[in-house]
Amino acid sequence: MTDAPRGRGALCPQCGTDVAPALLACPSCHRLVHADELKRLAAAAQGAAQAGDRSSALAAWREALDLLPRDSTQHQVVSARVLELSRALDREPREPSVPRQTSHRGRNAAGLGALGALLLKFKFAIIFLVTKAKLLMLGLTKASTFFSMLLSAGVYWTIWGWQFAVGVVLSIYVHEMGHVQALQRYGIKATAPMFIPGVGAVVRLKQYPADRREDARVGLAGPIWGLGAAAVAFGVYRATGSGMWGAIAHFGAWVNLFNLLPVWQLDGGRGFRALTRTQRWIAAALIGSMWLLTGEGLLVLLGLAAAASAGFTEAADQPDPTILAQYGLLVIVLSLLTWTAVPAIAP
């Protein structure tokens, strides 16, 4: 059957049955409505996979899933292929997303040693953002993103002044583009970031992750990029002594730490869904340790939510060491940034 426009019905060329516009297969003979497009997408996916471009292959296969009835054998086969490609993508070597943190003894030694490690890692943060500059600039070409950013900046400007307002909006933007980059990596369609004054920004998914593993990695990508932005701001603050940059660093660290709350659709909640019960208790213990070290009140809320998630909500069957490591390192570094960054807004 040749492809038919989705807004109009068509007669099945095989059996002559009238096929409603919303159907993906003929109700009588089960011939696929979008057979030609599915063949094209399959060829594109196979070509991309042979070229080593797994992200493009995933995008093509996910588009094919949208054209297949969910109860069909083809849908099951393509879904399995998406999972296989996605897991292979995760096995590809990449630069570590979060700088590793060493352990130290004693409160003062821990804080100073961790701060020194952070300063040494600022080179990583700067390189990280520079290498992603093309994607960051691409996001600004979207009218909905750019004008909603201006609106949010205007609102924050009236409260804190234009410098801090710009820093706040850019920190949120970098966070959201972390999600966008991860979604593109897995071939998942989504909207450009849309800013909502007083709330932050959102990226709406047009397709959904294949499993908890994908969803967790997309969720934590935002705080990982947000950490990079906060680290750069803190580095400028340390180099210049400008309280404005210290305030921006503190804001970025605090907001990204808040997003690690393992509840609802926050990034931490998406990350926790990939963790087993034991891994969740480990994360809760780490959060408690960082609260004892830094005294950051937000960590009390994180710890309580993590303990509740570990004790009462459904957990993953298989452990995900990568997500646990990413979540733990984000808690450590963001907590230290909220502890050391000085939020004194002064030029």
In the chain the first and final C-alpha atoms are separated, in Å, by 67
- Res. 235 pLDDT band, cuts 50 70 90: very high
Residue 98 has pLDDT above 80, yes or no: no
For residues 307-340, b (16+ Cβ closer than 10 Å) or e, as one string?
bebbeeeebbeebbeebbebbbbbbbbbbbbbbb
Q: What pTM does this model have?
A: 0.83
pLDDT tens for each residue of 68-85:
999 999 999 999 999 999
φ, ψ (nearest 5 deg) of residue 193: -60, 140
Give the sign of the dihedral formed by CA 339, CA 345, CA 346, CA 347. positive
- Domains defined for the chain, CATH in brackets: 10-91 (1.20.58), 107-340 (no CATH)
Tokens of 253: 């660290």
Contact predicate 280/302, CB 8 Å: no
- At 1 the pLDDT is 39
Cα 219 to the center of its chain, rounded Å: 4
**10 has which bridge partners?**
19
- At 160 the pLDDT is 85
Residue 51 has pLDDT above 80, yes or no: yes
Give the sign of the dihedral formed by CA 257, CA 105, CA 128, CA 205. negative
Residue 26 has pLDDT above 90, yes or no: no
The mean pLDDT of 309-317, rounded to a whole number, is 95
Higher pLDDT, 94 or 80: 80
Q: Nearest Cα to 89, choosing from 210, 226, 191? A: 210
Alpha helices (H) in the chain, listed in sequence order = 35-50, 54-65, 73-91, 107-131, 133-140, 143-160, 162-185, 212-240, 243-258, 267-272, 277-294, 298-312, 321-340
Average pLDDT, the chain: 86
Residue 205 has pLDDT above 80, yes or no: yes
Instruction: Collapse the DSSP code of 273 into the 3-class scheme (helix H, G, I; strand E, B; otherwise coil) and give the result.
Output: coil
Contact predicate 289/298, CB 8 Å: no
Higher pLDDT, 23 or 255: 255
Tokens of 301: 């809320």
Number of CB atoms found within 10 A of residue 2's CB: 10
Higher pLDDT, 331 or 143: 331
Measure Cα distances from 100 to 3, 329, 330 in Å. Answer: 51, 7, 10
